[in-house]
Chain A
């Protein structure tokens, strides 16, 4: 996936943004609450994302990440609060919102009984693309699936299906791309490809909103990260800022068979603290997982273990 190819693909996109949003914010979330029965999936979430940002919503399973994406992509209506994309209210002007977004959901919702080309054709027609034949050819090439164009999707590997899913979301050259857990269950090589893709999109000014519970993914890709826990936004900032707030270094040591962590401001501080600890110790730079543990007392990957 060559960067120049992506640029060429995107340059052929017509500008569809209202002027106000070009200078303003791309995504505005204003006190969104979503309640399912007795469960408060989102609790007064407020968030502003600028154009061209790669924003990562980080949190364990069930924190409300997918609910956020569903509300922003008009699939779910909030119990209270407002949200706007490109200056369009998601509830009052849903068609305008749908015209500028692309969505790759967590579950691969391709028609597996149809071919890759047929999947893209139906999607492109729903979005009234003018040069559909050419766009499909281009996007399949960028996704590395040209030769599979007329194969049934059910015969694709998991990684190929995921690539096709993201390719479909990009077919319309959206201003905002939503990726819900884009690399779950993928092998490291495919994961790297998707990371490269997101970086290329960033170069081209596309706003990317992604959710993940992989720490390294958020650190590798995102210009800014929000940490969600039980429907509440508990931290917001660049990965550097967030790590700086809890301390840049971590001292890990063993105590009664358990691994303990101490967050330190500097490597020297960690060194001096380690003098009093017995057994093996590790001093390392802090990561977003440490931030999450500090803030909630839980691990992000907890639900999976």
Chain B
């Protein structure tokens, strides 16, 4: 447990170093802002979903998507490059810290990155005049979403045989999930068979929770799904670190 702090601290030092280069910051925030402006402003006036404005619908979706993307990508890339190219990951393996501590440190770092991106979008949404009001499950759903996808980032970062592997996984799994998981339109608009598939994806449940106004049993089910995914990915990560061998 204690050993997770230096692992986390190192990622934060690296994050800070990149953040100081402003170009990096803008390129990282570019995609979600583009979606927000293009869809939010372009479609926003014509469409209304569930009685609210489209911007109000879109904003939680973009927050879920960005928290997923940033938590996942940061950790998956950091581990793939650190393990295969710079070989800095090997320092953790050769240090007296437990696999649990290594994974926890990385996951917490990924969460910070995801929460940072989320808060940026929230800020922009606020200036665009979104009437987003906080609902009870917004924060736990966001935290779980970051935790879950940072853990998935660890799995992918440890399994990838090259940097391209991470990108491939991202294109075939993360990106479709962002589009079909209820980010831009309600899952209910899709054909029934596809809805069933979509409900197997964690991001769909995050989206649902972030927009839910009540705490019914349906929401508790979605929450349970996220917790189960988070636990599975976290446990797989620990297993991969424990059995790490070159």
A residues neighboring B (CB under 8 Å)? 70, 73-77, 95, 98-99, 101, 103, 105, 107, 109-114, 118, 122-123, 125-128
Contact partners of A105 in chain B: CB under 8 A = 87, 90
Contacts of A128 in B (CB 8 A): 2-3, 96
- Picked from B9, B18, B94, the residue with its CB within 8 Å of the CB of A122 is B9
A-contact 0/1 string along B64-96, CB 8 Å cutoff = 000000000000000000000011101111111
Cross-chain pairs A/B with CB under 8 angstroms, 7 sampled:
A74-B93, A75-B94, A75-B246, A95-B96, A99-B96, A105-B87, A112-B86
Given contacts A113-B17, A114-B17, contact A126 B245 (CB under 8 A): no
The CA-CA distance from A99 to B98 in the complex, in Å, is 12
Min CB distance A230 to B, Å, is 19
- B10 interfacial contact with A, CB 8 Å: yes
Contact indicator B13/A76 (Cβ below 8 Å): no
Given A107-B87, A109-B87, CB of A114 within 8 Å of CB of B14: yes
Nearest-Cβ distance from residue A209 to partner chain B, whole angstroms: 14
User: B186 at interface (Cβ–Cβ under 8 A)?
Assistant: no
Which of chain B's residues has its CB closest to A79's CB?
B245
| A125 adjacent to B9 (CB under 8 Å) | yes
Closest to A78 in B: B245
Q: Is A126 touching B246 in the complex (CB atoms < 8 A)?
A: no
Most buried by A among B10, B93, B95: B95
Do A109 and B88 form a contact, CB below 8 Å, given A75-B246, A114-B17?
yes
Q: Are B90 and A126 in contact (CB under 8 A)?
A: no
Q: Would B90 and A75 count as touching, CB distance under 8 A?
A: yes
B6–A126 touching, CB < 8 Å:
yes
Contacts of A118 in B (CB 8 A): 13
Which residues does chain A contribute within 8 Å of B14, judged by CB atoms? 111, 113-114
In chain B between 142 and 164, which residues have their CB closer than 8 angstroms to a CB of chain A? none
**Which residues on the B side are within 8 Å of A127 (C-beta)?**
95-96
Q: Are the C-beta atoms of A126 and B95 separated by less than 8 Å?
A: yes
Please, how many angstroms separate the alpha-carbon atoms of A113 and B17 in the complex?
Answer: 7
> In the complex, A125 Cα to B7 Cα: how many Å?
9
Q: Is residue B97 contacting chain A, with contact meaning CB distance below 8 A?
A: yes
* Residues A109 and B2 in contact, CB atoms below 8 Å apart: no
In the complex, the answer to whether A122 meets B6 with C-beta atoms within 8 Å is yes
Most buried by B among A70, A76, A109: A109
A77 to B246 CA separation, bound complex (whole angstroms): 7
**Are A74 and B5 in touch, CB under 8 angstroms?**
no
Q: In whole Å, how far is B61's beta carbon from the nearest beta carbon of chain A? A: 33
Of B2, B9, B18, B95, the residue contacting A98 (CB under 8 A) is B95
Docked complex: B84-133 residues within 8 A CB-CB of A: 86-88, 90-98
How far, in whole Å, are A253 and B91 apart by their CA atoms in the complex? Answer: 49
B85 to chain A, nearest CB (A): 10
Q: Nearest residue in B to A95 (C-beta to C-beta)? A: B96
Do residues A95 and B87 form an inter-chain contact, with CB atoms below 8 A?
Answer: no
Beyond A105-B90, A107-B87, A109-B90, whether A123 also contacts B17 by CB under 8 A is: no
